[in-house]
Structure 1
Amino acid sequence: MKKHSKTLFAGMVGNVLEWYDFVVYGFLAVIIGELFFPSDDPMLSLLKSLGVFAVGFVMRPVGAILFGHIGDRYGRKKALTISIVMMAVSTTAIGLLPTYAQIGILAPTLLVILKLFQGLSVGGEYTTSVSFIVEHAPEGKRGLFGSVGILGAVVGILLGSASGAVITKVLPEDQLYAWGWRVLFFTGILLGLIGYYVRKNIDETPKFIELEYEELIDKQPVFDVFRKAFKEFLKTFSLSTFQAVGFYTIFVYIANHLTVFVKMPKSTALTINTISMVVLAVLIPFFGWLSDKIGRKPIILFSTGFTVLASYPLFRFISSGSVENALIGQIIFAVVVAGFMSILPTTLVEIFPTQIRNSGYSIGYNLPFAIFGGTAPLIATYLVKTTNNPGSPAFYLIAAAAVAFIAGLTLKETAKEPLK
């Protein structure tokens, strides 16, 4: 049991750090905009700051190719060790950066470079960690173990939100701008050191050791994904599109939707979002466990099918102006999406053979996040503004869910099968 706990922690810690930074940067976007992109127009500073944030998304597919190759060619352990160091160093370095007032144009330039390195490490971190955890999982528990990867992401978001809320309450605004914002990035040192130590002292996965022993390591895993497993890649891309659109619409966009279009206080909208994310965190391991009992396919089809049918009425319900309706609606979304998010990691690991698993999963998962994930809040906002219909963001969610539902129909049930 101790060995499994160490394996789960080793896989989870990088995702906590990754998503912690994601939330912290978003939380501090206004401050970072003013310190690194000073302008007479505060909105312009904010847009530039968010533009730098988007740069990280562009690098995710590049990181997927790089770390996918390292994981399949040299081992999951090596890929995870490199990615946690890259992520921890770049996160901490942002906290150490001089501002525009101190070194001029070099400040935003260095910020962009560090966000590029973060995006690179993120592109391989999550998918490699899931491959690592699932390949270590005991028979009959792959769904439960795989769900820990996405649980790490949710824990990171909650940790980032809590840290941001505490520091903004404790520090006055002048101190927050002077040095307080840096403190949130220094957490990267602690998580990075712990993650590096654990990963350096963990065993390589039995499946990869088996490949090494039998001299079956694929020398061109990225190329062979498209040559040998293109159908699996398409399924991965289609299913991941729903996760990308679903997560960023439900847990990133809706808080802004409630503030901007429903005119709720920001604190109320964030409280609703936090409660729904706690529900998500609690349900993720449950659905992972359930998928080991009843299979992956029924849960995938239920989650995507329900989203197609219920998204529009739920969005209208959430937009009614009632705090209770908004809370109930987002919790329903959280329950439905939890089923899909919890078992997608294991499902995608199971459809690829070990030789090209890391590359196939990493590229097929990260491409939709780069294309559809980061743009989901923007598209949702555009839909409401152009249609004047508060339920219109549901159309984008429905389209992504329909694509995933069709892909789900083509899946072979893998819960009781041995890993390829």
Structure 2
Amino acid sequence: MAATAHTLTLPATRAARREQLRSIIGGSAGNVIEWYDFLAYSIFSIYFSKAFFPGGNQTAQLLNAAAVAAIGYVVRPLGSWAIGALADRHGRRIALSLSVAMMSIGSLIIAATPTYASIGVAAPAVLICARLLQGFSMGGEAGTSATYLSEMAPTGRRGFFVGFVQVTVVMGQLLALALMLVLQRLVLTPTQLEQWGWRIPFAIGGALAVFALYLRRGIAETDAFARNRGAGAEAQARTQTERGSLLVLLIQHRRQTLWTIGISIGGTVAFYTFTIYLQKFMVNTTGFSRNTATLVATVALVIYMGFQPLFGLLSDLIGRRPVMMIFGVGGTFLTVPLMHALGATHSALTAFALNLAALGILSGFSSIHWLVKSELFPARVRALGVGLPFAIVSSVMGGTTEYLALRFKHDGHEAWFFYYVSACAAISLVTYVLMPETRHRSVIDQEADEEADEEARQ
């Protein structure tokens, strides 16, 4: 198979290895910035919620801001469908560039939107539009970037390398948290943060996304996609209409699609609970100051970030399912006692330990779920298959997680939310038990082997 100007074959030469590394960095850097922009909304909502929703107490204001955050998740399946189909039909590179460009626009709109005091109800309306644009972008980004890095990673250590996908997610969140700490402790007063300082992270995010767009314009296309495009005339004709086809995904790969949904339910709810909501939980329920809660969450996330490639490496050694079972069992049986303990503690050190324990459990899912999904689907529908089911789960389950947590607290039944998280983890646990092990049955490797056999016959 001939290599095009933007296609990587096996990195046998130093130049090819440099090109591969540059492409991985470009894809990863863009993912960091996308997640920074998307998660900054939830992280800084504790400061800007009053600017758009001035009435009510703190919980009511946060509830309204969380509702807008949830609206952003509604459009994620549409973005995943459109951008994922684009990636399967025309390449991962162009789809990744489009997604980061849209995220930049959404963040810059939030940074510039006037407050409720200035333009009334138009302020939350503009905020909703910007959040919808961010949601569309992230819907396409998540599945496509995971597909790109899964296809670029070397066989035999794919779990280790794709574990860095979650590192980019956490790095994006840590950038937002680190900026919050700097603004809180070194630059602005709490009043300044509430009045105008909350705009800073969105302005920075929009500018960084423009830089990520520049990086992604030069990344290489993956061999897996190039093999699909470079197949013989007969294979080309057969697969042309199947690339990025929603109908093909739902009919020919319905089992894999259902597995992907089951894999995602528990981990998605747990991710938004343990990495986003716990910070507000420690302020609103445990009683810590905002600064203390931010510091505890940030340090725990730094350590959690290091867990990801290690759990991924473990999956290379013992298999994907045993690693996912760590989350399935832990999330099902330990979430309720862990949340009760965190709500009752008065020690920042104990709160940190409980945060880290929750994130350790979550790592059984977050480190490898993107890879497992990528290993289930063929290249012609891989970006769509990885992204769309997850986007649906994120829209229905993830986007409403924080809202439900705050609603249960507002209604005086906060503990009900703990059981909800456990029940979602139990659904994923059943999926892990029933689904096949993908470490030795990866479709990515099967396609490469089929191409090698075809070349050998020729």
For residue 237 of structure 1, the aligned residue among 236, 248, 261 is 261
* TM-score in terms of structure 1 length: 0.91
Paired residues of 1:89 and 1:188 also in contact (CA < 8 A): no
Q: For residues 114 and 160 of structure 1, what CA distance do their matches in structure 2 show?
A: 18
Corresponding residue of 2:440: 416
* Partner SS, residue 261 of structure 1: helix
Q: 1:202 to 1:293 in 2, by over 3 A?
A: same
TM alignment of 1:304-343, pairs within 5 A = 304-323=328-347, 324-343=349-368
For residue 211 of structure 2, the aligned residue among 194, 219, 226 is 194
Q: Deviations over 1:245-291 (max 9, x none)?
A: 11112222233333333333333333322222112101011111221
Q: For residues 404 and 41 of structure 1, what CA distance do their matches in structure 2 show?
A: 36
Corresponding residue of 2:108: 92
Q: For residues 83 and 212 of structure 1, what CA distance do their matches in structure 2 show?
A: 22
Q: 1:195 to 1:295 in 2, by over 3 A?
A: same
Code of the aligned partner of 1:351: L
Q: For residues 173 and 385 of structure 1, what CA distance do their matches in structure 2 show?
A: 25
TM alignment of 1:166-205, pairs within 5 A = 166-169=182-185, 170-172=187-189, 175-176=192-193, 179-205=196-222
Q: Deviations over 1:108-161 (max 9, x none)?
A: 433322221111001010110010011111221221222222211101111101
For residue 402 of structure 2, the aligned residue among 356, 367, 377 is 377
Q: For residues 335 and 175 of structure 2, what CA distance do their matches in structure 1 show?
A: 28
Code of the aligned partner of 2:158: R
Deviates more, 1:184-193 or 1:58-67: 184-193
Number of corresponding residues: 419
Q: 1:300 to 1:31 in 2, by over 3 A?
A: closer
* Partner SS, residue 319 of structure 1: helix
TM alignment of 1:63-142, pairs within 5 A = 63-100=79-116, 102=118, 105-142=121-158
Deviation at 1:219, TM superposition (A): 4.5
* Partner SS, residue 352 of structure 2: helix
Paired residues of 1:296 and 1:414 also in contact (CA < 8 A): yes
Paired residues of 1:242 and 1:400 also in contact (CA < 8 A): yes
TM alignment of 1:262-411, pairs within 5 A = 262-323=286-347, 324-383=349-408, 390=415, 392-411=416-435
Deviates more, 1:289-298 or 1:121-130: 289-298
Paired residues of 2:272 and 2:398 also in contact (CA < 8 A): yes
* Partner SS, residue 416 of structure 1: coil
Q: For residues 155 and 295 of structure 2, what CA distance do their matches in structure 1 show?
A: 39
Deviation at 1:381, TM superposition (A): 4.5
Deviates more, 1:270-279 or 1:100-109: 100-109
Q: For residues 42 and 254 of structure 1, what CA distance do their matches in structure 2 show?
A: 16
Deviation at 1:389, TM superposition (A): 7.1
Q: For residues 30 and 137 of structure 1, what CA distance do their matches in structure 2 show?
A: 38
The unaligned stretches of length 5 or more in structure 2 are: 1-16, 448-458
Code of the aligned partner of 2:197: G
Paired residues of 1:140 and 1:416 also in contact (CA < 8 A): no
Deviation at 1:61, TM superposition (A): 1.0
For residue 164 of structure 1, the aligned residue among 156, 168, 180 is 180
Q: 1:310 to 1:38 in 2, by over 3 A?
A: closer
Deviation at 1:206, TM superposition (A): 0.6
TM alignment of 1:247-266, pairs within 5 A = 247-266=271-290
Deviation at 1:100, TM superposition (A): 4.6
Q: Deviations over 1:359-390 (max 9, x none)?
A: 11111111111111122233344556767675
* Partner SS, residue 170 of structure 2: helix
Deviation at 1:5, TM superposition (A): 3.0
Paired residues of 2:266 and 2:421 also in contact (CA < 8 A): yes
Q: Deviations over 1:21-54 (max 9, x none)?
A: 2343234435544444555877766554443322
Paired residues of 2:30 and 2:216 also in contact (CA < 8 A): no
The unaligned stretches of length 5 or more in structure 1 are: none
Paired residues of 2:146 and 2:165 also in contact (CA < 8 A): yes
Paired residues of 2:405 and 2:414 also in contact (CA < 8 A): no
Q: For residues 41 and 401 of structure 2, what CA distance do their matches in structure 1 show?
A: 18
Is 2:169 the counterpart of 1:153?
yes
Q: For residues 34 and 57 of structure 1, what CA distance do their matches in structure 2 show?
A: 22
Q: 1:190 to 1:210 in 2, by over 3 A?
A: same
Q: For residues 346 and 32 of structure 2, what CA distance do their matches in structure 1 show?
A: 33
Corresponding residue of 1:51: 67
Q: For residues 302 and 260 of structure 1, what CA distance do their matches in structure 2 show?
A: 29
Paired residues of 2:100 and 2:141 also in contact (CA < 8 A): yes
Q: For residues 109 and 310 of structure 1, what CA distance do their matches in structure 2 show?
A: 40
* TM-score in terms of structure 2 length: 0.84
Q: For residues 61 and 428 of structure 2, what CA distance do their matches in structure 1 show?
A: 37
Superposition CA RMSD, Å = 2.6
Paired residues of 2:71 and 2:399 also in contact (CA < 8 A): no
Q: Deviations over 1:204-224 (max 9, x none)?
A: 111111111112342552121
For residue 160 of structure 2, the aligned residue among 144, 148, 168 is 144
